Amino acid sequence: MHLQDIQMRDPFILADDRSNCYYLYGTTDKEPWKSEGVSFEAYTSTDLVHWEGPTVIFSPVEGFWGTQNFWAPEVHQYQEKYYLFASFKAEKHCRGTQILVSTSPLGPFLPVSERPATPLDWECLDGTFFVDEQGQRWMVFCHEWVQVNDGEICAIQLSSDLSQPIGEPQLLFKASSAVWPKLLPRRDGSGLVDARVTDGPFLYRTKSGNLLMLWSTVSENGYAMGYASSESGRLEGPWIQQKQPLVQCDGGHGMIFRSFEGVLYLTYHSPNKTPNERPFFVTLEEKDGGLVCR
């Protein structure tokens, strides 16, 4: 099959040197919004054109806390294992990012702990993995606009086996620090129209050493994705927002990967309406410390 045959939100590519294979992950439940969560599925390819699958990499075991909104899985290779970061929600349980582990990119993935890595009383989503220049492990995630109105992107340290968060989350920036998010009605019933979305952070360091962060929001043209750059080159920032998004075609929640041939790619889903969303690949170029779509 080809990408246009795959219904998927929030695509994520693992280019695995061990198997010389690409693994495509994403939100794959056919109705991911209100129905009970089913599973995460993955597809495999050796050329980024022809894809095989799907293979179920996670389905909830008995006692798993998440029951709905199985969203945005990412798989990262770390210390000889593969770690799945994904968002879940349940009745009377805030949405959060759970970390799971496997010895294979195709799972099965099992939780590293009984609770999500995000704060239990925060509505959170879209955790991604980052290792800084000192080797410290971090999860970068969104504190949801539905709870805080002005969506936030935060970071929290992780233990060496990724099983526990360490300390308190650090605020990196808010959606209002960029000029391109659209103002939305708050979810608190106040009638105020000043809320802004943060979605899908992903960290990327350029060959020149600049640290960039992709993130998505709702813009005047629909779903969109842009990036910020760290003025210090460190995760702590400060983060400077680009004036225009990279993608503004009602698409977003993407990530960056390099092919085995060295080509730099951006992947994202578009359009943003279920069941029409599909994964897309666009070649990228590093230019003047930033990114340009070819």
CATH (domain of 138): 2.115.10.20
Q: What is the DSSP string of 77-138?
A: EETTEEEEEEEEEETTEEEEEEEEEESSTT---EESSSS-SS-TTS-EEEEEEEE-TT--EE
Under DSSP, is residue 177 helix (H, G, I), strand (E, B) or coil?
A: helix
Specify the number of domains making up the chain.
1
CA distance 174 to 152: 4
pLDDT at residue number 281: 97
| pTM tops 0.95, yes or no | yes
Under DSSP, is residue 146 helix (H, G, I), strand (E, B) or coil?
A: helix
pLDDT at residue number 294: 85
* Residue 128 identity (one-letter amino acid): T
Residues of the domain holding 56: 3-293
Cis peptide before 73 (omega within 30 of 0): no
Cβ-based neighbour number of residue 91 at 10 Å: 6
CB 279 within 8 A of CB 3: yes
Digitized pLDDT (tens) for each residue of the chain, 294 residues in all: 999 999 999 999 999 999 999 999 999 999 999 899 999 999 999 999 999 999 999 999 999 999 999 999 999 999 999 999 999 999 999 999 999 999 999 999 999 999 999 999 999 999 999 999 999 999 999 999 999 999 999 999 999 999 999 999 999 999 999 999 999 999 998 999 999 999 999 999 999 999 999 999 999 999 999 999 999 999 999 999 999 999 998 999 999 999 999 999 999 999 999 999 999 999 999 999 899 998
CA distance 279 to 213: 20
